[in-house]
Each structure stands twice: as C-alpha cells, then as structure tokens.
C-alpha cells in the first residue's frame, strides 16, 4: 500500500498495481481502456460509452451522480477513480470510507496531463502515459488557428440555455482553437434568449452533450441570432480530458 496525493490534495492509500478498478467518469474510463487496463477495470457508469463493449462486459455501477453502492460493494474494488466536477460529493465521501478513491480536478490541459500521470503512477503504466501525453502535445502544437479572435458561445443545455464559461475545460479548448469565449462568467451560466442576442457571438457551438442538440435546435438558434454562424459540435472533443484528446485537434481543424 502506497500513499499518493490526488488532484484535490487528498492523501489516498492505494495498493500496488490495483487489480479491481471502478471508474466513475467516462473520459477517464476511456483512458483506462487505451492504457490497456481492460482486465483490471471491473466497474463503470452507464455514461461510459467508450469502449462500447465495456457496457456489456463490465458491471454498470450507476451514473456519475447516483451510484449503486450494492453493486460497487459486490465488486470489492481496490481503487475507485472519480472527478470533482462530474461526481456527486456525498456519494464520493461515502465510498471513500470503504475504498481508495482517487479524484481528478481538471480545468486546463496541464491539469489533464497531471491526471494522466497520476493514473499512470498508480497503475504502473508511466511509460504509456508519457507517450500518450507526447502524442496529445504534438497534436496541439500543430493546430492551425484559422478563426483567431472570433467570439464563440458554447451551449451545453437548453430550457434554460446554459453556456460553458470561464474556469472550465471547454473554455481551455476554445482558447486552444484561437477562439474567444463570449460567456465571460465562470463555470456554466444560464442565459435568456435576450442575453444570447446581446452577446452577438460570431459563432454558436451546440454541443452533443450533456444536452443532445440536434438540427432542429440549430435552426431555432439561427433564427434567434441570424448574424451568428451556428454549428453542431462533438461535445466529447471539447470536454473529455483523457485519451480522446489525441483525436481532438484533428476534429478542431474541421471546425475552423
């Protein structure tokens, strides 16, 4: 058993090379898969859609907020991996009373790399993680910023409309694309139609998650803001901070 510090500054006692891992965050689940930990992951959430076959071969332990504690207990995990923003605090605290729970806390690309290194350390896969980080950094270094300075409103919800503001990982990805976030408030502000119109964004991105915006929503927003270019975008590319980052920059180029 070794004592490690997670991204929330908590000291967590983790066994050497844990063999029964439960992941409570979709992007981190995908990271575990891409690191080759398929035989050591025993439980995931119903929102862990990558890799697809894990939804059939791993135990579903609930969502990212509400957990099936009985299912988790039955799995006897020796490591649970979560995230401060995506997971519900009370449930995490309850789990931490019985199991090692390692938490990430991510706002920036540097935070994502730190998370990867933390996961690599506790699973004994530091070399694979460093190669992954090098691949991601290489992609971002080649990103061509064709829309530099354009103001974008990134919407994640409707009824009410909600945007990704500052102090979010999505904001970090928008900056990486050379875009200026039109929502200057921190975190996820709710916006009225009138407030959206007053922002006069050059671009409006409608994310595929957590709200699944479709073509019909695009037409509504285009009518509300006729001078803005409205696009449907893949939310995983902007908000998943694990190994999906290897694909993000190629995708970003298609939006420029």
Q: What is the pLDDT of residue 145?
A: 81
Domain 2-139 has CATH 3.40.50.1980: yes
Q: What is the pLDDT of residue 108?
A: 97
Residue-averaged pLDDT of the chain: 96
Question: pLDDT tens for residues 182-206?
Answer: 999 999 999 999 999 999 999 999 9
Name which of 220, 221, 250 is nearest 234 in CA terms. 250
Q: What pTM was estimated for this model as a whole? A: 0.94
Question: pLDDT tens for residues 86-106?
Answer: 999 999 999 999 999 999 999
What is the DSSP annotation of 60-100?
Answer: E-B-SSSB-HHHHHHH--SEEEEETTTS-HHHHHHHHTTS-
CATH 3.40.50.1980 domain extents, the chain = 2-139, 151-255
Name which of 81, 28, 30, 23 is nearest 52 in CA terms. 30
Rounded Cα–Cα distance for residues 94 and 91 (Å)? 5
Rounded Cα–Cα distance for residues 98 and 53 (Å)? 29
CATH of domain 151-255: 3.40.50.1980
Of the pLDDT bands very low, low, confident and very high (cuts 50, 70, 90), residue 147 is confident
Rounded Cα–Cα distance for residues 77 and 42 (Å)? 8
> What value does the mean pLDDT take over residues 205-219?
97
- H-helix segments, the chain: 26-34, 54-57, 69-75, 89-96, 109-123, 126-141, 169-176, 193-199, 215-224, 235-239, 245-255
């Amino acid at each position: 058993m070794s004592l490690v510090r997670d991204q929330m500054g908590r000291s967590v006692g983790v066994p050497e090379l844990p063999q029964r891992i439960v992941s409570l965050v979709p992007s981190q689940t995908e990271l575990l898969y891409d690191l080759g930990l398929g035989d050591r992951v025993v439980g995931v959430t119903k929102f862990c859609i990558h890799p697809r076959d894990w939804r059939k071969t791993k135990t579903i332990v609930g969502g990212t907020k509400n957990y099936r504690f009985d299912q988790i207990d039955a799995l006897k995990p020796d490591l649970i991996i979560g995230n401060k923003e995506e997971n519900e605090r009370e449930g995490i605290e309850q789990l931490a009373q019985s199991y090692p729970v390692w938490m990430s806390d991510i706002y920036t690309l540097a935070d994502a790399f730190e998370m990867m290194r933390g996961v690599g350390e506790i699973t004994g896969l530091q070399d694979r993680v460093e190669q992954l980080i090098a691949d991601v950094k290489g992609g971002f270094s080649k990103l061509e910023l064709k829309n530099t300075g354009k103001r974008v409103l990134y919407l994640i919800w409707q009824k009410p409309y909600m945007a990704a503001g500052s102090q979010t990982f999505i904001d970090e990805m928008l900056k990486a694309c050379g875009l200026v976030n039109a929502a200057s408030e921190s975190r996820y502000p709710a916006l009225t139609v009138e407030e959206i119109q007053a922002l006069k964004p050059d671009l409006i991105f409608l994310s595929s998650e957590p709200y699944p915006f479709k073509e019909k929503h695009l037409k509504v927003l285009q009518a509300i803001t006729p001078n803005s270019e409205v696009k449907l975008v893949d939310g995983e590319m902007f908000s998943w901070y694990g190994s999906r980052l290897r694909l993000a920059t190629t995708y970003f180029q298609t939006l420029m």
